[in-house]
Amino acid sequence: MADYSEFPAVLVERAGEDGSIFIVSINRPDRMNAIDPQSHTQLGRIWRVLDRDDECRVIVLTGAGRAFCAGMDYKRDRGGEAGPIRYSSMRARPGASKLVDYVLEVEKPIISMINGPAIGLGLILALLGDITVASTGAKLGDTHVNVGMTPGDGGVLLLPMLLGMNRAKEMMLTGDLITGEEAARLGLVNHAVSPEELRPFTLAIAEKLASKAPYALKTAKASLNMILRRRALDVLDLSHLYEQLAMRTDDYREGVKALAEKRRPKWTGR
C-alpha cells in the first residue's frame, strides 16, 4: 500500500474481503468538507497515487462526518480581487476544473458514496464517480449563482449529460438543492438509499467491481471517459474563464459577504 500520510486532508481506509477497496474521505468535517487550498491541492495529487497503488482495485469517494463536500470554502474568500485571468488547454487548466481532469484520468473504477450535502464543487466531485450512490436525504445542487459566481468547475459538462439540457439549466440557474431521492429519480445519481443502507449498499457494488478483470474494467472506463474528456475540451475552458471574470465583479464580493453574514445579497449587476 502506498503512503497516504502526506494527505492529511484526505482519509484513506481499506475495506472489502481482500482489502482492495479503498475508501477515500474528504477530511474537513468541521467545515462540512468544504475545499480550502490545502485540501484542493491534496485532492488533486492523491488520484495519481491511488491509481498507481497495486493494492487498490476500487475507489470509494465520500466525506468525513455528516457531509460529502459543501464545495468551495467561501469563508476563506472574502471576495477580494482575483488573480490574473488565464486561458489554458485541458492539460494545464488551473483551478477547480483541473480536478475534473485528474479524476477523469483515473483508470480504476470510482464509486461516489454521497453521505450528505454535495454542493457546488462537491457536487461535481460526486458526479465524477463512475457509479453514484446517495443517501436519500442528502442535499445536492450547484449553488454558484447564489454567490454571484459562474459555474466553472464541471457542472456545465456533467449536468446536461445526466439531466438533459433544460433540467440542467433549471438546476444551475436557480441554485436550488434537491434530495438524493429526487436526484435518483431524475437520473442525476445511480441510486438513493437510506443512510443506514448507504455504506453496505455501496460496498456491495464495490465488491462486485473488484471481482471483475482489472484490464477489462480499465479499458471500458477509459473508452467511456473519452467522451467526457472530449466534451470537456469544448466547455470547461470557457466556463472557467467566465468564472475568473465573475470573481472580479462587485456582485461576487457581495455574494460572498452576504453568505458569511447569513443574509440575502443585494445585487447591482456590476
- The answer to whether 82 and 244 have CB atoms below 8 angstroms apart is yes
C-alpha dihedral sign at 236, 241, 244, 245: negative
More confident residue, 93 or 127: 127
Burial of residue 89 (CB within 10 Å: 0-12, 13-18, 19+) is: exposed
Q: For residues 112 and 226, give the distance between their C-alpha atoms in angstroms, rounded to a whole number.
A: 20
pLDDT in tens, 13-31: 999 989 999 999 999 999 9
Q: For residues 79 and 74, give the distance between their C-alpha atoms in angstroms, rounded to a whole number.
A: 8
CATH class of 10-197+206-261: alpha beta
- The answer to whether 48 and 24 have CB atoms below 8 angstroms apart is no
Instruction: Mark 192-203 as b/e (b = at least 16 C-beta within 10 Å).
Output: bbeeeebbebbb
pLDDT at position 3 is: 87
pLDDT at position 19 is: 95
Q: For residues 265 and 253, give the distance between their C-alpha atoms in angstroms, rounded to a whole number.
A: 10
- Ordered by start, the domain boundaries in the chain are 10-197+206-261
Global pTM value: 0.90
- The answer to whether 14 and 27 have CB atoms below 8 angstroms apart is no
- Window from 45-59, 149-163, 206-220 with minimum mean pLDDT: 149-163
pLDDT at position 2 is: 84
Please name every residue paired with 58 in a beta bridge, in sequence order, or none if there are none.
21
pLDDT at position 244 is: 86
What is the pLDDT of the chain when averaged over all its residues? 90
pLDDT at residue 87 is higher than 90 = no
pLDDT at position 234 is: 82
pLDDT at residue 92 is higher than 90 = no
Q: Tell me the longest C-alpha to C-alpha distance in the chain.
A: 58
Q: Which three cell numbers stand for residue 206?
A: 464495490
pLDDT at position 152 is: 80
Cα angle for residues 214, 131, 114 (degrees, 5° grid): 130
Q: Which three cell numbers stand for residue 15?
A: 475495506
pLDDT at position 266 is: 94
- The answer to whether 210 and 58 have CB atoms below 8 angstroms apart is yes
pLDDT at position 97 is: 56
pLDDT in tens, 208-223: 999 999 999 999 999 9
pLDDT in tens, 244-261: 899 899 999 999 999 889
pLDDT at position 83 is: 43
